[in-house]
Structure 1
Amino acid sequence: MCQFSSPSLSCKSKSDPKTKVQESDRLVTALIPKDPTFENPQKTHLSLAISEARCIANIALPMILTGLLLYSRSMISMLFLGRQGELALAGGSLAIGFANITGYSILSGLSMGMEPICGQAFGAKRYKLLGLALQRTILLLFLVSIPIALLWVNMKKILLFCGQDDDISTEAQLYILYSLPDLLAQSILHPLRLYLRSQSITLPLTFCASLSILLHVPINYLLVSVFNLGIKGVALSAVWTNFNLVGSLIIYVIISGVFRKTWGGISSECLKGWRSLLSLAIPSCISVCLEWWWYEIMILLCGLLLNPRATVASMGILIQTTAFIYIFPSSLSFGVSTRVGNELGANNPQKAKLAATIGLSSSFVLGFAALCFAVMVRKIWASMFTQDADIIALTSMVLPIIGLCELGNCPQTTGCGVLRGTARPKMGANINLGCFYLVGMPVAVWLSFYAGFDFKGLWLGLLAAQGSCVVTMLIVLARTDWECQAQRAKELIGNVSDDADHNEEDEKLKDTKNSSSSLDGRIPGIQNLRFQCEVYTHKKLVTWGREAKEFDWSTPMAADSKHDSSLTKTHYLDWVTMTH
């Protein structure tokens, strides 16, 4: 059989036993897959772990810097809002909260549906799928932005219906109307960042973010102070900065040539085959929104406590604090998600498991560091934002609880990254729903309003949610079958690529039938062989036809096999199957 498995073998291999053994050994060796473990037997588990930690750090560290830069942008906007007076600050803050709930959280969550597709496709070297996923996701976010924009236009009516102050609602409406173009910027920015990150390209994103933030201050000064646009200028400055970031990223992609392997041009294929994307995007969106909305509900509950003015203000400071701390575990989760997705796509389940293990171990270190930070700054942190004694006291009391929450939040966030890398966002959504809303919310309400813990009870409810969440997440990850996940990655990439390759394969099939029709008379029984291949699979027919066209029928093997039609059919089908 071996002598028929390569068209380059001659008749000498039949008569010369030594040559036959050498050729057989060569063929068997070629069929053995290359494994880095066999190529580098001297590598220890420690060296592999260190190497993986470096890969994750190369992605996560630039993402941390980018997160800090974007966080500073929001702080700059708040400073310019504060200079416009108390009404502008209240209206702008309300508008930003409304935009986060109804717009930005949805766009961010939906965009994460492309993360496992791009990560696994890049690992499998199916580079063109990245460009196709980018087009589909941008188009999806554009479509979703339309109802979001309609909701924003009617925000004042919604706020008044909920009993908000008329003046504050008017200011909030003004801010959000001038933020409408930001939906367009975010619809491009989120997928573009994921497109680059799935290829482990994160440092250029940091440079582009640095450039946009450097321009953010003068843009604010120009629109707010020079042109006296007030709250409208703050909103337009944020939009302008985001478009600067999008533009700089596009320029980088073009100049660097990153797009060459992954971009097949704008294709009508982006209008088809959305099932795989939506099956990942919708659960990802639900998971993100459930966590984002928790904090907004907490602010609403603060208004029902004994001292609503102080508790709402303190809650605002604490949410800003948690947003600052969240930059670190979220960046780690991005790195872990990328590495897990790449390795599963490359069919390296053990390396994917190692990446998840290294990431989770690092997350516990981050959680302990966050706890130490919260405890150390508890007496001075609030004074950076206000001089009100009640607000400072409430903030100082709750900061250690936040530190304990981060002990669970850091591993939980990283675990969500592992689930995204394995294309299981639905599992993450179920965990968040159960732990935050079926455990954390009842505990928070009971402790705050019935057990006498007041403001502290809300954060103890969050602690219960984070604790149950991390325990559930670790159980799920510990029971993960990584071999099965590698197989699922093949199926995911196959499902996505089937839609992209369908038309191309149809064209190849037409060419194959035309080119192979001339072979029918050259080998007895070849029509029966074509039927066998067609039954075998559609793709094997295309492969068989292409190889039949390229096969050198003048070789001795072909000449000899013409006299035995059954031998030809059997060995030729074996040869096609083994080589593909």
Structure 2
Amino acid sequence: MEEKDQDFSFRKFPTLSQILQELRELWGLALPITGMNLLVFFRAAVSVFFLGRLGSLELAGGALSLGFTNITGYSVLMGLASGLEPVCSQAYGSKNWALLAISFQRMVLILLVAAIPISLLWLNLERIMIGMGQDKAITSMAATYCLYSLPDLLTNSLLQPLRVFLRSQQAVKPMMYCTMAAVALHAPLNVLMVKVLGLGVGGVAAASVLTNLNMAVLMAGWYLGWGKGREMVMSWRVFGGGDGSGGGVGEVWGGMGPLLRLAVPSCLGICLEWWWYEIVTVMAGYLANPTLAVAATGILIQTTSMMYTVPLALSGCVSTRVGNELGAGNPYKAKLAAMVALGCAFLIGFINVTWTVILRERWAGLFTKDDLVMSLVASVMPIMGLCELGNCPQTTGCGILRATARPAVGARVNLGSFYFVGTPVAVGLAFWLKVGFPGLWFGLMSAQLACVVSILYVVLLQTDWEAEALKAQKLGGVEMSTSSACIEGRETKQEEDEESKGLLTINGNGNNKDDVFWTE
């Protein structure tokens, strides 16, 4: 980690070389993560392709199961794991390997516990869907897909925290290479499961499970064999112990509460946005021509998912950059990382607006030959592009909030924006004012506008970077250096302020009882 901030001119006016250096740092992380996200997107497309080759019933059942498992399972596990971001990134920045290790172990246990009720939901998918009036034949196929997907809950309980754990240590290229190797085997696995073994829909699900397992094994194997794990794990004991990496199972469980206070709001923030897109699909089914509307919605959501790979990567990487710098006691470098990332996010948003307008007449032709569906998609593409103009910076801003251990702010913003702004606008325009299908996407645009304004207000106007660095130093159990005297001078007042909010203690290194998680 670089030396702590010392140049006072840098604190207010970073030079062009400093901005360019930060751009190199940020995109050195973001490009491999974007590549990894695109590979995961490709894996999902391969699964849908094999479902389609089995038949329309299998495709419908698989699609129903994919939606159900995303809403009830994968979004929850991914959201909970994102609560690990501020802890790991700041602990890595402050070189507190003990806190890094024990926090990872705690998150794996949290996800394993969360997988229990999720598995019960998946086992009862058929009963739930039939109770909601879904077709029995489609539901039966979906239940089969869900049953074969159950082991994926265990795999993701390791894979999701492992991704955050490695990214916080800037090990992004090995993650991309491991993902590439696993995805390269995805199509052959589908052939084996579906064609050779004749497992049908269950075979497609089993292939996805094995691909995720391959990812987890390859990433863990690289870390233990060639990465920093060889050095770090020497001092670990499973579930704590050793020289400062925790005091055993009791200590791991004893620190769950503080980590959950970061994980739960992180999960809510991600799920509230993720679920809203599923609600749009449901609302499209109540329009005048539901078949056309749902088909067009599917194409548009697939398109937004593809575009989302870049801001999602940027969000995770700015979380790493900001957390690392705060943990190292560099508040102004953390601020620079945040500002550069937000600038990049707005640029990506403008690029998305441009191409969605230019290609609006041709894009749907990649997915369908139905002229009516293509026309409907073309009419909404520019609106969707404008949504991305807000989505990119708000996603990046949420990453900054996670890096500063304030995920609850992001959750509140998403709740208010999507459900108290976006939903009324979408329903009002689409159904009451008879705008129809475009009205749903105007609702999304209003939600994204409210979201980005709120996030930018918090990040730009309500973030005290010196205070955030002090919190990160407390979290990592590292004293501020004399070169950060400007921060030390604020310590007494900051402690008084935080005492009024309440502190969550965590014995992160097994020895220092002053280690804390700072939350809202």
TM over 0.5: yes
Q: Where does 1:508-519 land on structure 2 (aligned, <5 Å)?
A: none
> Which structure: larger Rg?
1
Per the alignment, residue 237 of structure 2 pairs with: 265
C-alpha distance in 1 between matches for 2:506 and 2:346? 40
Matched, 1:355 2:337: yes
Matched, 1:315 2:323: no
C-alpha distance in 1 between matches for 2:190 and 2:348? 34
1:35 deviates by 5.0
1:90 deviates by 0.4
Per the alignment, residue 468 of structure 2 pairs with: 485
Per the alignment, residue 399 of structure 2 pairs with: 417
Q: 1:140 aligns with which of 97, 105, 110?
A: 110
Q: 1:187 aligns with which of 151, 157, 161?
A: 157
C-alpha distance in 1 between matches for 2:289 and 2:58? 23
The amino acid that maps onto 2:192 is: L
The amino acid that maps onto 1:37 is: D
Q: Where does 1:439-478 land on structure 2 (aligned, <5 Å)?
A: 439-478=421-460
Q: Where does 1:16-95 land on structure 2 (aligned, <5 Å)?
A: 35=5, 37=7, 45-95=15-65
The amino acid that maps onto 2:358 is: M
Q: Is the CA contact 1:114–1:137 (under 8 Å) kept in the aligned structure 2? A: yes
The amino acid that maps onto 1:491 is: K
Per the alignment, residue 276 of structure 2 pairs with: 294
Matched, 1:395 2:377: yes
The amino acid that maps onto 2:167 is: R
Matched, 1:328 2:310: yes
1:496 deviates by 8.3
The amino acid that maps onto 1:309 is: T
Structure 2 CA distance for partners of 1:34 and 1:105, relative to 1, 3 Å: closer
Q: Is the CA contact 1:340–1:353 (under 8 Å) kept in the aligned structure 2? A: yes
Q: Is the CA contact 1:138–1:187 (under 8 Å) kept in the aligned structure 2? A: yes
Sequence identity (%) = 48
C-alpha distance in 1 between matches for 2:90 and 2:4? 20
Matched, 1:247 2:214: no
Q: 2:355 aligns with which of 347, 351, 373?
A: 373
Q: 1:155 aligns with which of 103, 125, 141?
A: 125
Compute the RMSD of aligned alpha carbons: 2.0
C-alpha distance in 2 between matches for 1:487 and 1:157? 52
C-alpha distance in 2 between matches for 1:439 and 1:498? 38
Structure 2 CA distance for partners of 1:354 and 1:473, relative to 1, 3 Å: same
1:79-123 CA distance string (max 9 Å, x none): 000001110000000000000110001000000111100001111
Structure 2 counterpart SS, 1:306:
coil
TM-score, L = length of structure 2 = 0.88
How many residues align structurally?
A: 474
Per the alignment, residue 482 of structure 2 pairs with: none
Structure 2 CA distance for partners of 1:294 and 1:505, relative to 1, 3 Å: closer
The amino acid that maps onto 1:485 is: E
Q: Is the CA contact 1:120–1:346 (under 8 Å) kept in the aligned structure 2? A: yes
C-alpha distance in 1 between matches for 2:283 and 2:506? 49
1:367-393 CA distance string (max 9 Å, x none): 011111211221121111111122111
C-alpha distance in 2 between matches for 1:224 and 1:361? 46
Per the alignment, residue 566 of structure 1 pairs with: none
TM-score, L = length of structure 1 = 0.79
5+ unaligned residues in a row in structure 2: which ranges? Answer: 241-247, 478-502, 516-520
Q: 2:72 aligns with which of 102, 107, 118?
A: 102
Per the alignment, residue 365 of structure 2 pairs with: 383
C-alpha distance in 1 between matches for 2:418 and 2:405? 22
1:288-333 CA distance string (max 9 Å, x none): 1100100111111111100001111111111100000000111111
4+ aligned runs moved over 4 Å, structure 1: 33-36, 38-41, 494-498
